[in-house]
Amino acid sequence: MEKKYTPSLWLCILMDLIGCASYAVPVLGDVSDLIWAPISAIIFYRMFGGPIGTFGSAFNFLEELFPGTDFIPTFTVAWVVKRIWAGRRTVAMK
Protein backbone atom coordinates (compact mmCIF):
# COMPACT_ATOMS: atom_id res chain seq x y z
CA MET A 1 0.00 0.00 0.00
CA GLU A 2 1.27 3.45 -0.94
CA LYS A 3 1.59 6.05 1.82
CA LYS A 4 0.02 9.37 0.85
CA TYR A 5 1.82 12.60 1.70
CA THR A 6 0.06 15.00 4.07
CA PRO A 7 1.62 18.43 4.42
CA SER A 8 2.60 19.73 7.83
CA LEU A 9 -0.04 21.62 9.80
CA TRP A 10 2.51 24.35 10.52
CA LEU A 11 3.20 24.79 6.83
CA CYS A 12 -0.54 25.11 6.15
CA ILE A 13 -0.91 27.72 8.89
CA LEU A 14 2.08 29.62 7.49
CA MET A 15 0.54 29.63 4.01
CA ASP A 16 -2.73 30.97 5.42
CA LEU A 17 -0.85 33.70 7.29
CA ILE A 18 0.96 34.70 4.10
CA GLY A 19 -2.41 34.97 2.37
CA CYS A 20 -3.72 37.20 5.18
CA ALA A 21 -0.63 39.39 5.13
CA SER A 22 -2.11 41.47 2.34
CA TYR A 23 -4.37 43.07 4.97
CA ALA A 24 -1.28 44.71 6.47
CA VAL A 25 -1.02 47.24 3.62
CA PRO A 26 -4.53 48.49 2.76
CA VAL A 27 -4.12 49.66 -0.87
CA LEU A 28 -1.32 47.32 -1.90
CA GLY A 29 -3.20 44.37 -0.41
CA ASP A 30 -5.66 44.08 -3.26
CA VAL A 31 -2.92 44.42 -5.86
CA SER A 32 -0.75 41.83 -4.13
CA ASP A 33 -3.72 39.44 -4.09
CA LEU A 34 -3.76 39.53 -7.90
CA ILE A 35 -0.19 38.22 -7.83
CA TRP A 36 -0.61 35.88 -4.84
CA ALA A 37 -3.84 34.17 -5.99
CA PRO A 38 -2.36 32.05 -8.83
CA ILE A 39 0.82 31.34 -6.88
CA SER A 40 -1.19 30.21 -3.88
CA ALA A 41 -3.43 28.00 -6.04
CA ILE A 42 -0.42 26.27 -7.60
CA ILE A 43 1.18 25.71 -4.19
CA PHE A 44 -2.13 24.38 -2.86
CA TYR A 45 -2.46 21.86 -5.67
CA ARG A 46 1.15 20.73 -5.30
CA MET A 47 0.72 20.28 -1.54
CA PHE A 48 -2.55 18.33 -1.57
CA GLY A 49 -3.06 16.89 -5.06
CA GLY A 50 -5.96 14.62 -5.98
CA PRO A 51 -9.57 15.72 -5.58
CA ILE A 52 -8.82 17.87 -2.52
CA GLY A 53 -6.05 19.67 -4.39
CA THR A 54 -8.14 20.18 -7.51
CA PHE A 55 -11.19 21.61 -5.77
CA GLY A 56 -9.15 23.38 -3.11
CA SER A 57 -6.80 25.12 -5.52
CA ALA A 58 -9.74 26.54 -7.50
CA PHE A 59 -11.44 27.63 -4.27
CA ASN A 60 -8.18 29.05 -2.94
CA PHE A 61 -7.62 31.01 -6.15
CA LEU A 62 -11.06 32.61 -5.93
CA GLU A 63 -10.77 33.19 -2.19
CA GLU A 64 -7.48 35.05 -2.61
CA LEU A 65 -8.74 36.97 -5.63
CA PHE A 66 -11.95 38.36 -4.15
CA PRO A 67 -11.53 41.17 -1.63
CA GLY A 68 -12.60 40.51 1.95
CA THR A 69 -12.29 36.71 1.81
CA ASP A 70 -8.62 36.36 2.78
CA PHE A 71 -9.60 35.46 6.33
CA ILE A 72 -10.68 31.94 5.26
CA PRO A 73 -7.90 29.51 6.31
CA THR A 74 -8.08 27.41 3.13
CA PHE A 75 -4.83 25.51 3.64
CA THR A 76 -5.64 24.63 7.26
CA VAL A 77 -9.18 23.54 6.42
CA ALA A 78 -7.80 21.32 3.63
CA TRP A 79 -5.30 19.82 6.07
CA VAL A 80 -8.14 18.91 8.47
CA VAL A 81 -10.24 17.46 5.64
CA LYS A 82 -7.31 15.40 4.37
CA ARG A 83 -6.58 14.04 7.86
CA ILE A 84 -10.24 13.10 8.42
CA TRP A 85 -10.44 11.54 4.96
CA ALA A 86 -7.26 9.51 5.57
CA GLY A 87 -8.59 8.40 8.97
CA ARG A 88 -11.85 7.21 7.48
CA ARG A 89 -10.04 5.26 4.77
CA THR A 90 -7.82 3.57 7.36
CA VAL A 91 -10.84 2.54 9.44
CA ALA A 92 -12.69 1.27 6.34
CA MET A 93 -9.74 -0.94 5.37
CA LYS A 94 -9.68 -2.76 8.72
pLDDT tens-digit profile of 30-88? 788 889 999 999 999 999 988 999 999 999 999 988 888 888 999 999 999 998 877 76
Residue pair 40/60 in contact by the 8 Å Cβ criterion: yes
Residue 1: pLDDT band by 50, 70, 90 thresholds? very low
Residue 22: pLDDT band by 50, 70, 90 thresholds? confident
Residue pair 59/67 in contact by the 8 Å Cβ criterion: no
Amino acid identity of residue 70, one-letter, is D
Task: Count Cβ atoms within 10 A of the Cβ of residue 19 and give its class: 0-12 exposed, 13-18 middle, 19 or more buried.
Answer: buried
Neighbours of 48 (CB within 10 A): 25
